[in-house]
Amino acid sequence: MSFYGIAGLFISSCLWCTMTWNSIKIEVREGIYARRVLYMEIRGLGDVPLTRIDENLTPREIKPMAAELAYFLRVPIEVF
């Protein structure tokens, strides 16, 4: 049991370090095919979408999600 406990602590510390070194990014494209997607930027892996790409969210829906996540992770929000 102590092996699993130590392994769990190691994995969780790696995940927390990954989250604290990165930032939250919102991609906004306006026009005929409007698209708003919430991403988490991870070094070496690129951008990981946190919302479905085909889901058409309004700015009122995506801003609180991004703000809450950025506050929890203590990282800045980037809007593109």
The pTM score is: 0.55
Work out the burial of residue 18: count CB atoms within 10 Å of its CB; fewer than 13 is exposed, 13-18 middle, 19 or more buried. Answer: middle
Chain segment 19-57, per-residue pLDDT in tens: 665 677 777 777 777 777 777 777 777 777 778 777 777
Q: Which of 57, 58, 77, 59 minimizes the C-alpha distance to 67?
A: 77
